[in-house]
Amino acid sequence: MLKQFVLSPNRLLPDGWHLEYPPAQLTVHNVKTGRQAQDLSLIAVNRAQPDRPAAVGRDALQYQDSPDFAVFSPFRQGQIAHFPAAALLIKSLLGRIGPKLLIPKPVMCVHIQERATQVEEQALAEAAIQCGARKVFFYTDSLSAMARTAESRKELRRAILLHIDP
């Protein structure tokens, strides 16, 4: 069977693709202010309007039993499984640590798994850039270790840390 791949970047609900991965725990940490936001990597999408999310994070759990909504995690084992939904989720978390970031285009440090491929790294970097990052660094340490490292390095003192716990 041959199936054509058609890219539809605004569509949040993939057709015929069931995303049943356990949600990851996402943490966004602003190194300069110390503000932090944590949430589950869940998105609820109305099946009638698949291009607009109904809820993100823990708020999406209330739609889990409704047949009119699809609730899924755009991350699989710490890596992006559905790009548009992952970028939307990261944007919503960034909005929770402040209405406007203190830096117009911040440096972002993104947590990756040690076994991440170059394609998975590229997807995470693209998502961070779409969310407003000027430069993206990757780290494999814990969030607390990376926060200590960021405070000690001049170019990372105003960074935003994005930690994805699978």
Question: What pLDDT, on the 0 to 100 scale, is given for residue 161?
Answer: 92
Q: Are strands 160-165 and 107-111 parallel, antiparallel or unpaired?
A: parallel
CATH class of segment(s) 25-41+75-165: alpha beta
Q: Split the chain (166 residues) into runs of 10 and give each run's mean pLDDT.
A: 44 55 87 90 88 90 89 86 88 79 76 88 91 91 91 89 88
Q: Where are the domains of the chain?
A: 25-41+75-165
Question: What pLDDT, on the 0 to 100 scale, is given for residue 50?
Answer: 81
Rounded Cα distance, 124 and 79, in Å: 8
Question: What pLDDT, on the 0 to 100 scale, is given for residue 137?
Answer: 93
Question: What pLDDT, on the 0 to 100 scale, is given for residue 7?
Answer: 44
What six digits make up the tokens of 69? 């909504």
pTM of model > 0.85: no
